[in-house]
C-alpha cells in the first residue's frame, strides 16, 4: 500500500483516543485505521458511542482536551501530520483543507449573526479578502446550495431545518477543502429533506472533487452515496470494503446484525432481528473481541484475543476470528436472510 499513499487524502493509522475523567477512562478509539483517497466518499458506520464522531474530531484536532487524550497513533491529512501540527497550522487547515458538517443545523449556526456573515467568515479567514469580496463569494456559495443570495441577510431562525443545513454545507464548502467530514448531516432533518440534502451533497462533492467522510448510522445513506464503507465497533474498524463488499459480501457478524435490524420492505410480516444486548460501556470494554458478548458465532478465542485483519480482497477486510485466509473467500460462515 505504500505507493498508494500518494493519493491518500487522509490516512489514520491505529489511533487510540481516551477520555479521561475522574471516574473512569473511556476508551473512545482503540486502534482506529482509515484511509480516504482524494475525491472518494467514505462511509463510517456504527452505533452511538462507537467512536465515529471522535474520529471526525481527531482529524480536525478538535477533541476537547481535557478530558480527551490522543494516546497513540498517526493522522496524516494530505501530508500534514495532525498530531505534530501547531494550533496556528490547524487554524489554517480547518476550513481550507478539511471542514466539518455538524449533525444539528439548528445549533451549529450562530443565532445572532446573519448567515452571509457566517459564511463570509470562511473567506475572510482563509483567503484574506475584504468583506465586500467575501460577501460576493458567499452569494455564489448560497446559490450553489440552492438558496437565493438575497436570503443571506436573514438570521438562522428564519430558515427551515433543511435550509439551515444547506447553509452549513455552504460554510463547509466555502474554503474548497479536500476533505469534508459530515457528522450525521441528515439525522436532524425529516426524510424528504434528507433525500434532497443528500443528493445535493453528492452533486457538489462530485463537482468540486472533494473527498468526504460520511459519519452515519443509516445504512440507507451509505448505500446512496458512499464508495467505501468502514464498519466501526467500539472504536475500531471491524469490517471495511467497497460498498458492494459490505452490502453483498458481508463477512462480519456485526455487519450482518446491522443488516438484519433493517425492516424488510418485501416481507412486511418478517420480524426484525435486532443484535442482542447493548453497545458495551467504552469505559469497561470486554476483553478480546469487544463484540463477543453479543455475537451469535462466539468461540472461546473471541473472549481472549483481538481478531487480526483478514483480507478478502486488497480492499475488503474483516477483523473476526471466524475467518482465515482460506474461508474468507467463499464466506458462508454466517447465515444471511
Partner 1 sequence: MTTQATTVDAAALTKKYKKQSQFSEVWRRLRKNKAAMLGLAIMILLVGLALAAPLIYDYDGDVISQNIKNRLQPPSAAHPFGTDEMGREILARVIWGARTSLSIGFTAVLFALIVGGTLGAISGFYGGIVDNVIMRIMDIFLAVPGTLLAITIAAALGPSTINLIIALSISSVPGFARIVRGSVLTVRDVEYIEAAKAIGASNGRILLQHVIPNSLAPVIVHTTLNVATIILTIAGLSFLGLGISAPTPEWGAMLSSGRTYLRNASYYTMFPGLAIMTTILALNLLGDGLRDALDPRLK
Nearer to partner 1, 122 or 302 (CB): 122
Nearer to partner 1, 102 or 291 (CB): 102
Nearest approach in angstroms of CB 182 to partner 1 is 12
Nearer to partner 1, 89 or 242 (CB): 89
Q: Which of 34, 27, 31, 10 is nearest to 236 (CA)?
A: 31
Cα distance between the two ends of the chain = 35
Nearest approach in angstroms of CB 271 to partner 1 is 38
Nearest approach in angstroms of CB 261 to partner 1 is 29
Nearest approach in angstroms of CB 100 to partner 1 is 4
Ramachandran area for residue 128 (φ above 0: left; ψ -120 to 50: alpha; else beta): left
Q: Which H or E element spans position 243?
A: helix 243-248
Nearer to partner 1, 57 or 318 (CB): 57
Nearest approach in angstroms of CB 117 to partner 1 is 8
Nearest approach in angstroms of CB 306 to partner 1 is 33
- Checking 277-282 for CB contacts under 8 A at 24+ apart, the result is 279/47, 279/48, 279/49, 279/50, 279/234, 280/234, 282/26, 282/27, 282/28, 282/49, 282/51, 282/234, 282/235
Residue with cell 445549533: 107
Q: Which H or E element spans position 16?
A: strand 8-20
Nearest approach in angstroms of CB 106 to partner 1 is 9
Residues that bind partner 1 (CB under 8 A): 60, 62, 90-96, 99-100, 102, 104, 107-114, 121-122, 125-126, 143, 148, 150-151, 153-155, 158, 168, 171-172, 174-175
Q: Which H or E element spans position 133?
A: helix 131-144
Nearer to partner 1, 180 or 231 (CB): 180
DSSP per-residue codes, 149-213? GGGGGS-GGGS-HHHHHHHHHHHHHHT--SEEEEESTTTTS-HHHHHHHHHHHHHHHHHHT-EEE
Nearer to partner 1, 213 or 237 (CB): 213
Nearer to partner 1, 123 or 254 (CB): 123
Amino acid at each position: 500500500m505504500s505507493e498508494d499513499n500518494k493519493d491518500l487524502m487522509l490516512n489514520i493509522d491505529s489511533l487510540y483516543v481516551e477520555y479521561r475523567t475522574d471516574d473512569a477512562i473511556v476508551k473512545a478509539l482503540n486502534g482506529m485505521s482509515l484511509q480516504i483517497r482524494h475525491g472518494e466518499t467514505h462511509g463510517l458506520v456504527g452505533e452511538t458511542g462507537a467512536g465515529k464522531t471522535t474520529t471526525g474530531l481527531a482529524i480536525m484536532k478538535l477533541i476537547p482536551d481535557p478530558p480527551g487524550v490522543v494516546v497513540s497513533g498517526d493522522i496524516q491529512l494530505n501530508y500534514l501530520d495532525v498530531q505534530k501540527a501547531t494550533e496556528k497550522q490547524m487554524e489554517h487547515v480547518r476550513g481550507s483543507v478539511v471542514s466539518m458538517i455538524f449533525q444539528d443545523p439548528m445549533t451549529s449556526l450562530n443565532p445572532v449573526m446573519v448567515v452571509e456573515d457566517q459564511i463570509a467568515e470562511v473567506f475572510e479567514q482563509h483567503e484574506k479578502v475584504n468583506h465586500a469580496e467575501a460577501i460576493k463569494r458567499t452569494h455564489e456559495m448560497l446559490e450553489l446550495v440552492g438558496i437565493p443570495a438575497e436570503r443571506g441577510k436573514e438570521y438562522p431562525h428564519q430558515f427551515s431545518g433543511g435550509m439551515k443545513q444547506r447553509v452549513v454545507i455552504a460554510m463547509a464548502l466555502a474554503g474548497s477543502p479536500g476533505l469534508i467530514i459530515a457528522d450525521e448531516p441528515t439525522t436532524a432533518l425529516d426524510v424528504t429533506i434528507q433525500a434532497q440534502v443528500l443528493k445535493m451533497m453528492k452533486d457538489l462533492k462530485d463537482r468540486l472533487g472533494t473527498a468526504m467522510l460520511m459519519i452515519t448510522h443509516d445504512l440507507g445513506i451509505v448505500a446512496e452515496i458512499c464508495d467505501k464503507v468502514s464498519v466501526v465497533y467500539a472504536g475500531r474498524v471491524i469490517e471495511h470494503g467497497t460498498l458492494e463488499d459490505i452490502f453483498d459480501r458481508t463477512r462480519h457478524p456485526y455487519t450482518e446484525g446491522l443488516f438484519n435490524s433493517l425492516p424488510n420492505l418485501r416481507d412486511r410480516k418478517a420480524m426484525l432481528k435486532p443484535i442482542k444486548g447493548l453497545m458495551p460501556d467504552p469505559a469497561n470494554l470486554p476483553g478480546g473481541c469487544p463484540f463477543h458478548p453479543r455475537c451469535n458465532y462466539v468461540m472461546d478465542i473471541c473472549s481472549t484475543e483481538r481478531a487480526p485483519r483478514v483480507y478478502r480482497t486488497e480492499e475488503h477486510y474483516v477483523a473476526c476470528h471466524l475467518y482465515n485466509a482460506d474461508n474468507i473467500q467463499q464466506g458462508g460462515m454466517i447465515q444471511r436472510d
